[in-house]
Structure 1
Amino acid sequence: MNNLPKITHVIYDLDGLLLDTESIHAQVNSEITSRYGKIFDKQTKCKITGRKSIDSAKAIVELLELPVTPEDYLQQRNTLTYQRFPEAKPMPGAVHLTQHLYQNKIPQAVATSSSREPFNLKTKNHQEWFQLFNYIIVGDDPNLKHGKPAPDIFLIAAKRLDVSPKNCLVFEDSLAGMEAALAAEMSVIVVPDPDMDKTLFYSAHQILNSLTEFQPQLWQLPPFF
């Protein structure tokens, strides 16, 4: 990592990275697709992870050939997920890492494909924690034209943090998120879902099984004590 630009700012994805919402999504998608005699399998899950809500709904409808419109599917999914989002728990190591960097005055941001309403539901029981972040960019931000894997959301984050993209380290869990961070010319660490094929993330600067494995000093960031 020493041959990379100095890291001064850190940006995080939300779903499956800071908060365990992916299990909620998987349960709900399985429930809905089973209504039509279809199975929400690992391959489908991998193809939609990290994408904006309507984009993932379109993909599921097309991949599984469901007899509904993406809009209808999204409405069904929102009804179920919105009820469960407040139950979302932090991913292992997420609170410790973000608190550590906050205490060491490293600016941090969240860049999520999640729209504002579901974001508020997911973080409802974690208000104090999310005060640690300098900026939060959501999927329906008025300045966001293209979702991940386009780099737009990370470039918006860098602009608001007033930092060069090259000095940003991104934590992601999805292929779309990794591609977006790389397209923004940022360094990226991927913490993939266990169901994901890790070989897909060969372009990442580092792959971890959990945020608990992260060693800040390898990235010229203040070490844990």
Structure 2
Amino acid sequence: MLPKQSPWLLDTERIYTEVFQSICGEYGKEYTWALKARVMGRPAREAAAIICQSVGLPLEPEELLVESSRRLHERFPSAQLMPGVERLVTHLSAHGVPLAVATGSSRETLQRKTEQHGRLFNHMQVVVTSDELAAGHGKPAPDIFLKAASRFIPPAQPAKCLVFEDAPNGVGGAKAAGMQVYKY
């Protein structure tokens, strides 16, 4: 199983960074790497609240969410596959390795990000998005990874799952789920 936040598959973190740096910059605030590391992999509403509070944006989290979502929605279809991803995913799929995506993105956002890459994402037997989690149960909680493992037929044992993850919150969640983690 390869549950993964989008950057392992798609180069979306660059888009997130540019959008949040732009919005913060409009208010004279800075979106730093340290802040980005705190919000990577979290559900959008939770991330927006952390950003607003951390940098003192004069916006409510919902306002930041609306504006960032508008900008991200415009840019996501341009997301490119990361180098080597297509080859690896098709190889694993051809050899019967079950594959999953477990993402902090909503279902709608994931569809927007992947609309140019449907063929690759057709290899995924399981997709779990933040929409399917109870509030407060996004990464770094293990819930999304455990949910993905449970959806395989038969369900995958967490200790036999390998998670490719780039976000510190995702690494923590996968470890908390009892899974092996490759930090990208």
Q: TM-score range by the shorter chain?
A: over 0.9
CA distance in 1, matches of 2:115, 2:33: 29
**Normalising to structure 2: TM-score of the pair?**
0.95
Query: RMSD of the TM alignment (CA)?
Result: 0.9
Give ranges in structure 2 of 5+ residues lacking alignment.
none
Structure 1 residue 111 corresponds to structure 2 residue 124: no
CA distance in 2, matches of 1:129, 1:15: 13
Which SS does the other structure have where 1:136 is aligned?
A: strand
Structure 1 residue 181 corresponds to structure 2 residue 169: no
CA distance in 2, matches of 1:50, 1:138: 11
Structure 1 residue 152 corresponds to structure 2 residue 137: no
- Give the structure with the larger helix fraction: 2
CA distance in 1, matches of 2:143, 2:33: 27
Alignment of 1:196-207 (within 5 A): none
Which SS does the other structure have where 1:89 is aligned?
A: coil
Contact 1:116 1:140 in 2 (8 A): yes
Contact 2:104 2:139 in 1 (8 A): yes
Q: Which runs of 4+ in 1 moved over 4 A?
A: none
| Residue from 89, 98, 114 that aligns with 2:80 | 89
Q: Which has the larger radius of gyration?
A: 1
Letter in 2 for 1:27: E
Alignment of 1:1-225 (within 5 A): 10-141=1-132, 144-145=133-134, 146-161=137-152, 162-191=155-184
Contact 1:33 1:39 in 2 (8 A): yes
Contact 2:5 2:103 in 1 (8 A): yes
Give ranges in structure 1 of 5+ residues lacking alignment.
1-9, 192-225
**Normalising to structure 1: TM-score of the pair?**
0.78
Letter in 2 for 1:58: A
Which SS does the other structure have where 1:67 is aligned?
A: coil
CA distance in 1, matches of 2:142, 2:34: 24
CA distance in 2, matches of 1:103, 1:138: 25
Contact 2:10 2:80 in 1 (8 A): yes
Q: Size of the alignment, in residue pairs?
A: 180
Which SS does the other structure have where 1:129 is aligned?
A: helix
Letter in 1 for 2:22: E
Deviation at 1:95, TM superposition (A): 1.2
Deviation at 1:14, TM superposition (A): 3.1
Deviation at 1:12, TM superposition (A): 2.7
Which SS does the other structure have where 2:2 is aligned?
A: strand
Deviation at 1:55, TM superposition (A): 1.1
